[in-house]
Structure 1
Amino acid sequence: MSYVLWAIPFFFLLIGLELVAERLRHTQYYRVNDAINSLSAGVLSRVTGVVHKLIPFTVYALVYEHIAWLTLPDSLWVWLLAFVLYDFFYYWNHRLGHEVNVLWAAHVVHHSSEEYNLTTALRQSSTGLVSWIFYLPMAVLGITPEMMITVGSLNLIYQFWVHTRHVPKLGWLEWIFVTPSNHRVHHAQNQLYIDRNYGGVFIVWDRLFGSFQEELDDEPPLFGIRKALRSWNPLWANVHLYSQLLHDCWHASRWQDKFMIWFKRTGWRPADVEAKYPMAKADLSRFEKYDPPISTSTKWYSLIQHGLTILIALMLMLFSDELVVWQQWGLMLFVLFSTFSVGALMEQKWVARWLELSKNLSVLVAVFVFAIPNWLGILLVAGSLVSLVILASVKLEAAQPALE
């Protein structure tokens, strides 16, 4: 059983508490645009997971049924073993996700935020289609599919709370568990910190395999990625590095380079491509966060739209078994469109106003055309009408072309 869906209300409760701490401590760890972008990426990850996670579970179940070496009892020690084993394989999955080009292309979205707060934890990939392979040894050892899914969800839930800057070092716990301090290191792009601290629950793997780095008082972490995303489009966040790899693959002259670029060390490029299409090195001494100015009305509008998108996404995740295929795909495509459109609005794209107008009108039409629960219809109608009123007052500070 996966507990992630049921943990979502607690995630938002903790985000609320962190916002209270932000106000009381007068910190500046949150920005509306960045937080919405992180949450949008999280919604996309959960929604697309409804469609593509059946295959990994099926493969794992087949391996367990036909290849498992052992028949393990349903006892506490087996659950503890499964929990530790899952984190061990997560460590290697995570480490290779930073060290291999094609795997980093899937994982990079999680690191693309230039802030570090609890919403960052929800900025998950929608394209990580092969990570399940790392856990197949658990099936061979006799860990049941249900047990693997349960400990995997607990592992993911644990990782949520370490994405905060409000918790200092925690003494002896730093030696055993992943804590906010050593996970801040993992999200930093400082040369000292980059590609360190891969553990999910236990930091001991990093200490054993030489990838640990302590957070230093005289080296504050700079969060984000070296090739800054500079966009609030969560769809682009998921595919931008694939786009670069495809570009380099196409322009590489040697066939072996066209193949090896996907599996080489992160950042590797063919020499001829590097010479013809050089990429500027990040200058961390002049690091500036991506933060195009937006009006207060735009912030409120974006928050309301994101709330409606989350509501629709939750309906898809909770009732996916009761929906036919076209309904599942229709709701998923709506969520994709909504996150793209709101991102475009926060980037001051001139076309965003028209995208949002068509989206809200389509929601109103859908409420009256399709049979949906009365309470949901009332929420959607109210949210869309309020959105249309606010949208009329939204001012684009420095309107840009639709797509750069």
Structure 2
Amino acid sequence: MDFILYAVPFFFVLIAIELLADRWRGVSNYRVADAINSISTGVLSTTTGLLTKGVGLVTYAFALEHLALFELAADRVWVWVFAFVLYDFCYYWLHRLGHERNILWAAHSVHHQSEDYNLSTALRQTSTGFLLSWIFYLPMAVLGVPLLVFVSVAALNLLYQFWVHTRHIPKLGWFEWFFVTPSNHRAHHAQNALYMDRNYGGVFIIWDRLFGSFQEEDDNEPVIFGVTTPLASWNPLWANVQFYVQLWDDARRAGSGWDKLRIWFMPTGWRPADVAAKYPMNKPDLSQFRKFEVPLDGRQQLYVALQFCVYIALGSYLMNLALHLSTAALVLGWGAVALGLFVLGVALENRPWALKLELLRLASNLPLAWLAPVVGLWPASAVGWVGLLSYSLLSLIGLYCCRNRFTRLAS
């Protein structure tokens, strides 16, 4: 059973409830652009995962077949309990090194880029974590945890982590000693020096207490969310590659061949001395911290939000039918999602070329309508053409209503 697929509707219901709680308490933990950006990275991560999840599954299955020391039975309760705890232990070390090594932080930093903290932040996930994360779970295969059990406890671990991304739940007494909670996870998402690189557990906080990485949320030190080098963008594609680009630029500029190689595996933030001297990077002063913001008028926000709903629907469609779609269909679907989210990110940033790029996105619906039935993304029918063209026409009408805003930006 795909627990994540069935949980998605509940995620959005809980986000709606949190928005109501915001209003009831007279606070504002959501910004439209930030929430769209967080959920966009989640949609992109999920659709990318449809193409890349085989990396982790194949390597795990190979290790299970050739390296397993034991053969555990999937019908034993204790095996599930053991696997659940062991998975979180492996996750702790993946998560910890994800903060402590450049190459792993390049993937994980996506989850920390939001300067808000709410349930939409939980959906903010990397699209490149599949490259190396599988290594950390190989001990489970060596110990004989069946593939079905591994996949299931991985999903349950991820589901647990959703509810801790909120500011509405205070400290939970004795529960704080054993489990990850909203309070100790808020500290994890902070960029304050007091909280930096702490509280790595997914379900159990006991790993942090055992290995010296625990930090309690301090009422005297309000949490400032985000990363010390701000993303300063609403674009989910740039969010996923930003730190890789920084590492690549530093590696390219380094005079030493050894530095060009080791920068990827050095502690997070390490830079070659010659590069750091010639290209200094100044960290913002937290005492003068200001969230990244781009002014948008109400019509433009509404237009982007409605367009974004289309890509949530397309992402959900791909998730539901992934097992029945060809690789070509998944690639086309992913491409449509990636292009759309990129263009909407440009619109949220009020780029001067946003209007031209939006018109290009709408024009791309024509080849999409032709290609989709060819690769099996959806059946060939007049309904598909009518639906996509109707959507494009309605979008053009909406774009016309926003024309003054876009025209001013383009001029």
* TM-score grouping bracket, smaller chain normalisation: over 0.9
Asked if structure 1 preserves the Cα contact closer than 8 Å seen for 2:184 and 2:215, the reply is: yes
Aligned to 1:82: 83
* Alignment partner of 1:385 is 2:393: yes
Q: Aligned runs of 1:348-367 on 2, under 5 Å?
A: 348-363=350-365, 366-367=368-369
AA paired with 2:398?
I
Aligned to 1:62: 62
Aligned to 2:171: 169
* Alignment partner of 1:270 is 2:272: yes
Shift of 1:69: 1.1
Quote the Cα distance in structure 2 between the aligned partners of 1:176 and 1:383.
Answer: 50
TM-score, normalising length from structure 2?
0.93
Shift of 1:223: 0.4
Quote the Cα distance in structure 1 between the aligned partners of 2:301 and 2:368.
Answer: 26
Quote the Cα distance in structure 2 between the aligned partners of 1:345 and 1:93.
Answer: 35
Aligned residues: 401
- Rate the CA distance shift 1:167–1:332 in 2: closer, same or farther, 3 A: same
Shift of 1:296: 0.6
- Rate the CA distance shift 1:378–1:118 in 2: closer, same or farther, 3 A: farther
Report the 3-state secondary structure (helix = DSSP H, G, I; strand = E; otherwise coil) of the residue aligned with 2:215: coil
Aligned to 1:50: 50
Aligned to 2:123: 122
AA paired with 1:31?
R
Quote the Cα distance in structure 2 between the aligned partners of 1:292 and 1:167.
Answer: 29
Aligned to 1:304: 306
Quote the Cα distance in structure 2 between the aligned partners of 1:196 and 1:320.
Answer: 36
* Alignment partner of 1:160 is 2:162: yes
**5+ long unaligned stretches in structure 2:** none
Asked if structure 2 preserves the Cα contact closer than 8 Å seen for 1:308 and 1:383, the reply is: no
- Rate the CA distance shift 1:26–1:378 in 2: closer, same or farther, 3 A: farther
Asked if structure 1 preserves the Cα contact closer than 8 Å seen for 2:122 and 2:161, the reply is: yes
Shift of 1:359: 2.1
The Cα offsets for residues 234-289 of structure 1, whole Å up to 9 and x where unpaired, read as 11110111111111111111111111111111001111111010111221011011
Shift of 1:318: 1.8
Shift of 1:396: 4.0
Report the 3-state secondary structure (helix = DSSP H, G, I; strand = E; otherwise coil) of the residue aligned with 2:161: helix
- Rate the CA distance shift 1:21–1:358 in 2: closer, same or farther, 3 A: same
Asked if structure 2 preserves the Cα contact closer than 8 Å seen for 1:199 and 1:205, the reply is: yes
Shift of 1:365: 6.3
2:208 to 193, 206, 215: 206
Q: Aligned runs of 1:132-171 on 2, under 5 Å?
A: 132-171=134-173
- Rate the CA distance shift 1:132–1:220 in 2: closer, same or farther, 3 A: same
Aligned to 1:336: 338
Aligned to 1:322: 324
Aligned to 1:104: 105
AA paired with 1:198?
Y
Shift of 1:357: 2.1
Asked if structure 2 preserves the Cα contact closer than 8 Å seen for 1:304 and 1:383, the reply is: no
Quote the Cα distance in structure 2 between the aligned partners of 1:7 and 1:377.
Answer: 31
- Rate the CA distance shift 1:400–1:274 in 2: closer, same or farther, 3 A: farther
Aligned to 2:315: 313
Quote the Cα distance in structure 2 between the aligned partners of 1:249 and 1:369.
Answer: 40
Aligned to 2:18: 18
Asked if structure 1 preserves the Cα contact closer than 8 Å seen for 2:51 and 2:327, the reply is: no
Asked if structure 1 preserves the Cα contact closer than 8 Å seen for 2:199 and 2:205, the reply is: yes
What percentage of aligned pairs have identical amino acids? 53
1:399 to 385, 405, 409: 409
* Alignment partner of 1:229 is 2:231: yes
Shift of 1:322: 2.5
Query: What is the aligned-residue RMSD (CA, Å)?
Result: 1.9
Quote the Cα distance in structure 1 between the aligned partners of 2:176 and 2:63.
Answer: 36
- Rate the CA distance shift 1:9–1:68 in 2: closer, same or farther, 3 A: same
